[in-house]
Amino acid sequence: MIAKFANGIRPVLALVALIWAVELVNLLLGHRLVSWGILPRTLRGLIGIPLSPWIHAGLWHAVSNTIPILILGGLTLAGGKRKFWETTISVILLSGILVWIFARGAFHVGASGLVFGYFGVILGRAVFERSAIAIAIAIGTVLAYGGLLWGILPLRSQVSFESHLFGLIAGFAVIWLGHKFRKSPPPS
């Protein structure tokens, strides 16, 4: 039973393993990989769009993203593996682009944009699918993780509230766009 569960959440475990593999290398390099994060409105910063979720500013930063990735990623995975990967990639790219365009001039790193993206996905599913299970999952998520929403406010200068805000927006937008295109009638 445990092996079946582990196999079912393998994509989420792969993301967490990648975060920790990069963190180990980053730790050995004195966290110099932070310079590969998103640096808004610079050519150099574009490489950070796909790389920033895997790079963290320290051990505690990686630890603080691990549990929410496991839980919220696992809930996102409930939609199926293919949809999970499409959603994950879309959230990373859309939130990264928004951070690159609109965020303040500093390196933005960490998986918290993806965490907030998964949060937005879960809320978006409740709003657009309106199934009892999607609503129940969203209510449970808000009760357990509703405090995350404080993260979209610019309360601490060393925290990329922009990644949090744009991750949440990207997650919701990914579900909205998917719903919109599924609902639109085929061209005649």
Return the closest-CA partner of residue 124 out of 162, 83, 169.
169
**Which residue ranges form the domains of the chain, and what is each CATH number?**
2-183 (1.20.1540.10)
CA dist 96 and 88 (Å) reads: 12
Token duo for residue 153: 């406010």
Summarize pLDDT for 25-83 with one digit per residue, the tens: 999 999 999 999 999 999 999 999 999 999 999 999 999 999 999 999 999 998 899 99
Residues 133-139: what's their mean pLDDT? 95
pTM score, two decimals? 0.92
What pLDDT is stored for residue 2 in this prediction? 58
Please give the share of the chain, as a percent, with pLDDT higher than 90. Answer: 83
Return the closest-CA partner of residue 48 out of 98, 84, 88, 83.
98
The DSSP secondary-structure symbol of 10 reads H
The answer to whether residue 173 scores a pLDDT higher than 60 is: yes
Place of tokens 């990967």: 85
Place of tokens 């993206």: 117
Q: What is the mean pLDDT of the chain?
A: 93
What single-letter amino acid sits at 55?
Answer: I
The answer to whether residue 182 scores a pLDDT higher than 60 is: yes
Token duo for residue 106: 């500093």
CA dist 42 and 133 (Å) reads: 43
